[in-house]
Amino acid sequence: MNLFPYNSGHLMVVPYRHQATLQELDDDECLDLMNGTKLAIKLLRYVSHPDGFNVGMNIGRSSGAGIAGHVHIHVVPRWHGDTNFFPVLADTKIISQDMKSTYGKLKEAMRKVARRNA
């Protein structure tokens, strides 16, 4: 889970090997990254029922990457009307669900998925 989430349930899919760019990952690592992204979306659909998702990467410090030396994919659940004026006027982001609660729900959903795939 992202420590500074854009929305409740903001996940990051991160390869085990620290590499700064996609080109430095081998084909299996790229496939794992994409399969992890698919799994993240599946879990978030099950737990949070979002209307859509933002999925993307910030590669390099100038693009906004918080972990510039470790390429990763952001998966951000989105709902109609989930934006408001707080970030613009008060430099404050409202997260509608506690991260620990979201984590618990995702962990339980992961167990269910693992049992189905066993």
How far is residue 118's CA from residue 114's CA, in Å, rounded to a whole number? 6
* Contact call for residues 78 and 7 (beta carbons, < 8 A): yes
* Contact call for residues 78 and 54 (beta carbons, < 8 A): yes
Q: How far apart are the first and last CA of the chain?
A: 24
Catalytic (active-site) positions: 72
